[in-house]
Amino acid sequence: MKKSTIAVMLTAALAAASLAGCGGGSDAPATQAAATTAAEAGAEKEEQAEDAADAADAPEQAADGELIKVGIINNDPNESGYRTANDADLKKMFCEENGYEASFAYSLKNDEQITAAQKFIQDEVDYLLLSAADTSGWDSVLKDAQDAGIGVILFDRTIDASEDLYLASIVSDMAKEGETAVTWLAGQNLDSYNIIHLQGVMGSAAQQGRTGALDEKVAAEDSWTLVTQQTAEWNSEKAQQIVQSVIDSGTEFNVIYAENDDMAKGAVAALDKANISHGVGKDVIIMGFDCNKWALQELLDQNWNYDGQCNPFQAAYIDEVIKKVQKGESITEKTIIMDEKGFDASTITADDVENYGI
Amino acid sequence: MTKKKMVFASRQIFIPIAALLLLALFNLAVDPSFFKITLGRNSAGDPVLTGYLMTILDYGSEVAILAIGMTLVTAACGGQDISVGAAVAIAGSVILRVLVGIGGDGTLQAPIIVGFLAACVVAMLFGAFNGVLVAIFNIQPMVATLILYTAGRSIAAWINNNELPIVTDKTFTYFGGFIPGIPIPTPFFLAVICIAITLLALRFTTLGLYTQAVGINASSSRLNGLNPVFIKWLSFVILGLCVAVVGLIKTSRLSTINYSVIAKDIEMDAILAVALGGNVLSGGKFNIMASIVGAYVIQFLTTTLYKFNVSSDALPAYKAVVVILLVVLSAPAIKDKLMGMVKKQKGVG
Amino acid sequence: MRNIHKTFPGVRALQGVDFTLCKGEIHALMGENGAGKSTLIKVLTGVYEKNEGEIYLDGLEKPAVIKSPQDAQNLGISTVYQEITLCPNLTVAENMYIGRGSAKITNWKKMNEDADQILTNLGIPAKASQQLSDCSIAIQQMVAIARAVDMDCKVLILDEPTSSLDESEVEKLFGLMRDLRARGVGIIFVTHFLDQVYEVCDKITVLRDGQLVGEYVIEDLPRVKLVAKMLGKELDDMEEIKDDNQVYKGDDEYVFEAEQLQSDAGIRPFDFHIKKGEVNGFTGLLGSGRSECVRAIFCADRVTGGNVKMKGRPVKLAKPLDAMKNGIAYLPEDRKIDGIVGDLSVRDNLILAAQVLRGFFQPFSRAEANKFADEYIKLLEIKTASADTPIKSLSGGNQQKVILGRWLLTHPEYLILDEPTRGIDIGTKIEIQKLVLKLASEGMSVTFISSETDEMLRTCSRLVVMRDRKVVGELSGEDLTQGKVMETIAGGEAS
């Protein structure tokens, strides 16, 4: 029963979308009609139909009447809330309604990603969007893409390759995220900083950026010490065990600098068990990254102190780049750094949680 | 006669206990404070015992519970289930789905027991699926469970529509933490309950005899009226039940789930526990208590390494060393030599 | 070999055994299970190291050094075991040359040519390029022998080579052995079959309890004496059984009846019945379908048709458990694959079937299990260190007794014994035959299958004869003679 309903809805949606695509700008009324029919199948279709109509007006669509083929290589959306939000954002932007025909490939492994890229090149996509698992090993495959006339746009993560090989790189400046966080921490004016540093998967750009700033500060200041510096591999369970181990050893600490929210959550679970207070005005300062909605809620509840944003919404930036290229404009700035904030528990508002939570 | 029997029976469990003592002695020599246990209060104001040993009891219990099912699967089928971690993710996801639901606000929509029972049913179904592949279609266990190993975490994410539900209810944290007033971590009690049920089952049913008979010689077992297909299948279903319990503990620890990392690589620990327990991985005779001790040995090792600030991504390397040692020590040639040495020693003494 | 000593922990397996093998003779090595035959051979082939004693080869003064099977091979000592130790998924030629460091294995054409040459020379009906598993067991054994011959072996040890061969295959093997003897190869022949010893051997060496009993020229040692030497006492057991004339005198109550029974093992539908207290048997050549018939009765193979009655009451039997519940017990032909549960203790092996019948939720207590174990170990005179000993470490005969005990413990009304005497020593064989007769006299119905016709003639009052997977005749009373059985097996139409 349920299955068939979904199938009907899907078919209706597809029909609406493909009609919109084929009709292009020349036959707007027909598109609208199709959209109306589709809207009857399910309420949510309405939105899509509107999008479809919008897309019909897009310049590139009008120009050649064809969808822009994009191949998107991303990390596993189950990896973290950040990635889930990122994937959802991309899926929302690169749909047929917006004039795109998108194929997705997911992997946390570099070699699998490279294989996917080669496949996309064979499929003759127009643009290759890439969030690389690893920074190295991409030169030859990107050269192949360039030879095939495929525009490569990096998002979320940079790679070690010549700038000529890609059109643009839309990234968070992880180092800047780290700096913002460390500057905030320094602003807390503690007498001494005994920090448990929970790192992400070693070698990832986020880990390197967020670790870098802290390492520098610890090296520079006498009052800053690292009680432990360990990778918990973005994993809350491991973070919990690591912090548990520090608590068991009886070592004093007053800051937990976790490079993502999950690890901060694991750390807090260990603190709760040992009755170590944490949050605003308490014994231990809790810092996280990524601005998950639930994490910002913890800030609002004063259980955590700081959360650094890592903006997952790159799709709009990518779309802008592609549109510029389609119009023949040149990209002046290769590296596009997104706006990112850091939230303080003492100033965060419920609106912030809604707007910036992922 | 009886003395001889005891020596024979204890030989297998001797391996993990020796390993446990070795680790304990090492810690005692390096830093006796390893064994310090303090009674404190947690943030909810309830008494809790803390210390490395409690951490070992706490986290080792997860692997211990899985080791029960894994031992049975190993004994009956002569292979291992590598989809355990993924299955834990599914079980955990089911619990959260039932308790909070998609888009829920974190308050309980159903009693925790309902969520747990649902997880039991689902985990046993997935166990049954693996069991069908292995027992009926005769696919090698590792290959058969590779399917769920690959797909499991995506299924887990799909169950909750890729959302990460959070349970705000305090009672839910009891299962992976502490029950108010009881200072010993709940996972340990859950493990004890599971072990007790298992031992009762082995005592009051013929599960042990049947499993071993099927694992050693399926053809002969069939001619003795047993149904090898059913017994192999049953071992996977029992493992499913163990998986559901671990799913409850894991989700309770953080009141939420992370599909891609929850119970990551736990299957390897469970298999290692079975091996450490001196059980033959190609099936046949087994000793569940030895596997359980093996599970705590692994956690002992992990905790020790954490204490010495060994990077957590280097842990598998240390475990690999243990595996190598085990494999070498259990090789027939080495075993015979060691036995010979022991005998000689005894002869001299 | 002179004054060989070998001790195992707790056991002195060989105590000062001398053994001499001349060029161009076939020398039987005889003894009951546990007499030390295997140990002696393993010392000779370097599998075990001897504790004392010397081995001399080719009449040399200096003792030969044999520390590993490789040494033995280099000295020209080759062994062909009861279980084929070749690789079934390789070709005949590959099996002949593999593992010999020969460059031939890289030159397929030459290898096949050479192999074919040898096979033709020895009159072995196999092709070099054939996959080994496509050959019959007998041919596989001959290939193993050919391999040994090609390695210039001077001493060829054949360890129970005939136990899984039928008579014509045995004949072929003997032909090959005689041929090799003519070429000057010394052959050590280990077997349980007395007839075969007298057919092919020149000399006999008898071992008992790790000690040398003596070496005899075959003409000087009649069978009865040989058996007596092996058993260590002047036994008239064989005679005793023979005197016991088998005429079924029981009542007419049918215990088991089958009509047009058939299974997926490829036998023709057959009718069969057995009465209370009767002993009957299926006979026929190996592969004639006699095992498949009893497997069908026990539902060991999938039954595809036919009606079955127990004590005149129609019953539906679909799986072994159904048969067991109806009082049928089945001792399978292949003890290793279908019988023992190797790693389990003697006790667990004994109680297994009875436990299954009793049910999943009613395990025997430790005390009950021990009681049964002790009872049957005593009753059947099972030689085992304790009830805890894994069954796989027992000798073949004692394993068979445990399996027999397992079924007796279920108190069956109808006992099927498929080759219960294969590969076990003569003493145990006689014990088992006597036990069968005793059980029958107590009212149990027994179906007894054996490759040795005289065993069946001794025990059965009726024989169902099979040929080419169908029942071709039934003999009882006056017709129960060796000649009549052979005639029926061979078939009337063949002249």
Is residue A234 domain-resident? yes
Of residues B332 and B258, the one with the higher pLDDT is: B258
CATH of the domain at C326: 3.40.50.300
Nearest Cα residue in chain C from B201: C361
Strands (E), B133-270: none
CB spacing of B223 vs C338 below 8 angstroms: yes
The pLDDT assigned to A32 comes to 42
What separation in angstroms does the CA of C338 have from each of C289, C291, C382? 17, 13, 20
On whether both A257 and A215 belong to a single domain, the answer is yes
Nearest Cα residue in chain B from C364: B206
Q: Find, among C391, C400, C458, C456, the residue nearest to C428 by Cα.
A: C400
CB spacing of A78 vs B253 below 8 angstroms: no
| Partners of C189 in beta bridges | C28, C158
> What is the nearest CA distance from A219 to chain B, expressed in angstroms?
19
Is residue A32 domain-resident? yes
Query: Residue A87: enclosing H or E segment and its boundaries?
Result: helix A81-93
Considering only the beta carbons, identify the residue of B8, B203, B221 that sits closest to C341. B221
Query: Residue B39: enclosing H or E segment and its boundaries?
Result: strand B38-41
Domain boundary among C211, C233, C255: C233
The pLDDT assigned to C493 comes to 43
In chain C, which residues have their Cβ closer than 8 Å to the Cβ of B216? 341-344
Considering only the beta carbons, identify the residue of A230, A233, A273 that sits closest to B42. A273
Per-residue pLDDT tens over the stretch A186-229 = 999 999 999 999 999 888 778 988 999 999 999 999 999 999 99
On whether both A213 and A294 belong to a single domain, the answer is yes
Lookup: tokens for B22:
């070795």
Lookup: tokens for A356:
């910036």
CA angle A278, A280, A286 (to 5 degrees): 50
> What is the nearest CA distance from C344 to chain B, expressed in angstroms?
7
User: Above 50 in pLDDT, residue A255?
Assistant: yes
Which residues touch A314 (CB under 8 Å, ≥6 apart)? A86, A89, A90, A155, A156, A170, A338
The pLDDT assigned to A38 comes to 40
Is residue C485 domain-resident? yes
Considering only the beta carbons, identify the residue of B1, B205, B343 that sits closest to C361. B205
In chain C, which residues have their Cβ closer than 8 Å to the Cβ of B219? 337-338
Touch test C–A: 3 Cβ pairs or more under 8 Å: no
Average pLDDT, chain B: 88
Nearest Cα residue in chain B from A234: B261
> What total number of domains does chain A contain?
3
The pLDDT assigned to A243 comes to 94
Rounded to whole angstroms, how far apart are CA atoms C10 and C210? 13
Band of residue A20 on the pLDDT scale cut at 50, 70, 90:
very low
Nearest Cα residue in chain C from B207: C360
The pLDDT assigned to C288 comes to 78
Look at the alpha carbons of A251, A255, A260, A265 in this order and tell me if their dihedral is positive or negative. Answer: positive
User: Above 60 in pLDDT, residue B251?
Assistant: yes
On whether both C224 and C277 belong to a single domain, the answer is no
CB spacing of B225 vs C330 below 8 angstroms: no
On whether both C154 and C181 belong to a single domain, the answer is yes
Cβ-based neighbour number of residue A41 at 10 Å: 17
Band of residue A7 on the pLDDT scale cut at 50, 70, 90:
very low
- Percentage of residues of chain A with pLDDT beyond 90: 42
The pLDDT assigned to A300 comes to 93
Q: Find, among A122, A135, A130, the residue nearest to A208 by Cα.
A: A135
Per-residue pLDDT tens over the stretch B150-195 = 999 989 989 998 888 889 888 998 999 889 889 999 999 999 999 9
User: Above 60 in pLDDT, residue C238?
Assistant: no
Per-residue pLDDT tens over the stretch C324-381 = 999 999 999 888 889 999 899 999 999 999 999 999 999 999 999 999 999 999 988 8
> What is the nearest CA distance from C387 to chain B, expressed in angstroms?
10
On whether both C378 and C313 belong to a single domain, the answer is yes
> What is the nearest CA distance from B307 to chain A, expressed in angstroms?
6
On whether both C255 and C202 belong to a single domain, the answer is no
Domain boundary among C233, C262, C294: C233
DSSP assignment, residue B32? G
Lookup: tokens for C280:
């009957």
On whether both A203 and A293 belong to a single domain, the answer is yes
The pLDDT assigned to C196 comes to 82
**CB burial class (10 A; 0-12, 13-18, 19+) of residue C224?**
middle
Lookup: tokens for C343:
């790693």
Is residue A255 domain-resident? yes
What separation in angstroms does the CA of A169 have from each of A132, A173, B204? 11, 11, 66
Which residues touch C464 (CB under 8 Å, ≥6 apart)? C272, C280, C281, C282, C283, C290, C293, C471, C473, C474
In chain B, which residues have their Cβ closer than 8 Å to the Cβ of A247? 50
On whether both A306 and A323 belong to a single domain, the answer is no
- Which residue bears the tokens 């006056």? C478
Nearest Cα residue in chain B from A247: B51
Is residue A333 domain-resident? no
Q: Which of residues 32-61 of B touch A (CB under 8 A)?
A: 33, 36, 40-45, 48, 50-52, 55, 59
CB spacing of B312 vs A230 below 8 angstroms: yes
The residue range of the domain holding C265 is 241-490
On whether both A262 and A292 belong to a single domain, the answer is yes
In chain A, which residues have their Cβ closer than 8 Å to the Cβ of B36? 250
Considering only the beta carbons, identify the residue of C321, C352, C388 that sits closest to B5. C388
Rounded to whole angstroms, how far apart are CA atoms B177 and B249? 8
Is residue C321 domain-resident? yes
What separation in angstroms does the CA of A166 have from each of A128, A147, A327? 9, 12, 18
In chain A, which residues have their Cβ closer than 8 Å to the Cβ of B52? 245, 248-249
Per-residue pLDDT tens over the stretch B319-336 = 888 878 877 776 667 777
In chain B, which residues have their Cβ closer than 8 Å to the Cβ of A242? 306, 312
On whether both C214 and C248 belong to a single domain, the answer is no
Question: Phi and psi dihedrals of A204, rounded to 5?
Answer: -75, 155
On whether both C184 and C301 belong to a single domain, the answer is no
On whether both A32 and A155 belong to a single domain, the answer is no
> What total number of domains does chain C contain?
2
Strands (E), chain A: 68-74, 100-106, 127-130, 151-156, 168-171, 193-199, 224-231, 255-258, 285-289, 306-308, 335-337, 342-344
Touch test C–B: 3 Cβ pairs or more under 8 Å: yes
Considering only the beta carbons, identify the residue of C319, C324, C338 that sits closest to B219. C338
- Which residue bears the tokens 């620990």? B269
Rounded to whole angstroms, how far apart are CA atoms C495 and C492? 7
- Percentage of residues of chain A with pLDDT beyond 70: 82
3-state secondary structure of C491: coil
The pLDDT assigned to A195 comes to 95
Lookup: tokens for C301:
């193979």
DSSP assignment, residue A79? S
Considering only the beta carbons, identify the residue of C355, C361, C386 that sits closest to B209. C355
> What is the nearest CA distance from B232 to chain C, expressed in angstroms?
15
Rounded to whole angstroms, how far apart are CA atoms B51 and B48? 10
Band of residue C6 on the pLDDT scale cut at 50, 70, 90:
low
Is residue C495 domain-resident? no
On whether both C381 and C409 belong to a single domain, the answer is yes
Is residue A29 domain-resident? yes
Nearest Cα residue in chain A from B59: A241
On whether both A162 and A39 belong to a single domain, the answer is no
On whether both C259 and C217 belong to a single domain, the answer is no
User: Above 70 in pLDDT, residue A14?
Assistant: no
Domain boundary among C233, C266, C287: C233
Q: In this complex, which chains have at least 3 CB pairs below 8 Å with chain B?
A: A, C
Nearest Cα residue in chain B from A294: B166
Q: Does B317 touch chain A (CB under 8 A)?
A: no
CB spacing of A241 vs B42 below 8 angstroms: no
The pLDDT assigned to C267 comes to 85
Per-residue pLDDT tens over the stretch C342-354 = 899 999 999 999 9
* Cβ atoms of A20 and A53 closer than 8 Å: yes
One-letter amino acid of B265: D
On whether both C205 and C347 belong to a single domain, the answer is no
What separation in angstroms does the CA of C80 have from each of C86, C139, C145, C153, C156? 10, 12, 7, 12, 8
Per-residue pLDDT tens over the stretch C424-456 = 777 888 888 888 988 988 889 999 998 777 788
Q: Does B312 touch chain A (CB under 8 A)?
A: yes
Q: In this complex, which chains have at least 3 CB pairs below 8 Å with chain C?
A: B
3-state secondary structure of A226: strand
| Full-model pTM | 0.75
> What is the nearest CA distance from C389 to chain B, expressed in angstroms?
10
- Which residue bears the tokens 């596009």? A336
Interface test with B, best of A230, A275, A278, A292 (most B CBs within 10 A): A275
User: Above 70 in pLDDT, residue C273?
Assistant: yes
CB spacing of A230 vs B309 below 8 angstroms: yes
In chain B, which residues have their Cβ closer than 8 Å to the Cβ of C359? 206
On whether both A212 and A347 belong to a single domain, the answer is yes
Strands (E), B144-269: none
Q: Which ipTM was obtained for this model?
A: 0.85
Q: Does A10 touch chain B (CB under 8 A)?
A: no
> What is the nearest CA distance from C342 to chain B, expressed in angstroms?
7
Question: Phi and psi dihedrals of C273, rounded to 5?
Answer: -150, 155
User: Above 50 in pLDDT, residue A237?
Assistant: yes
On whether both A221 and A350 belong to a single domain, the answer is yes
Strands (E), C163-278: 186-190, 203-208, 211-217, 254-263, 270-275
Per-residue pLDDT tens over the stretch C220-234 = 877 767 767 776 654
Domain boundary among A36, A57, A78: A57
Is residue C105 domain-resident? yes
Touch test B–A: 3 Cβ pairs or more under 8 Å: yes
First to last CA, chain A: 33
The residue range of the domain holding A165 is 66-172+312-327
Lookup: tokens for A234:
């973005």
On whether both A155 and A300 belong to a single domain, the answer is no
* Cβ atoms of C42 and C77 closer than 8 Å: no
Query: Residue C157: enclosing H or E segment and its boundaries?
Result: strand C155-159
On whether both A130 and A141 belong to a single domain, the answer is yes
3-state secondary structure of A211: helix
On whether both A180 and A144 belong to a single domain, the answer is no
Is residue A290 domain-resident? yes
Answer left, alpha or beta for residue C3, where phi above 0 means left and psi between -120 and 50 means alpha.
Answer: left
Rounded to whole angstroms, how far apart are CA atoms A290 and A280? 19
Q: In this complex, which chains have at least 3 CB pairs below 8 Å with chain A?
A: B
User: Above 80 in pLDDT, residue A65?
Assistant: no
CATH of the domain at A153: 3.40.50.2300
Is residue C318 domain-resident? yes
Is residue A288 domain-resident? yes
Is residue A337 domain-resident? no
CB spacing of B55 vs A234 below 8 angstroms: no
Q: Does B303 touch chain A (CB under 8 A)?
A: yes
The helix-helix angle for C346-358 and C396-408 (nearest 10°) equals: 20
**DSSP of A260-306:** SHHHHHHHHHHHHHTT--BSTTSSBEEEEES--HHHHHHHHTTS--E
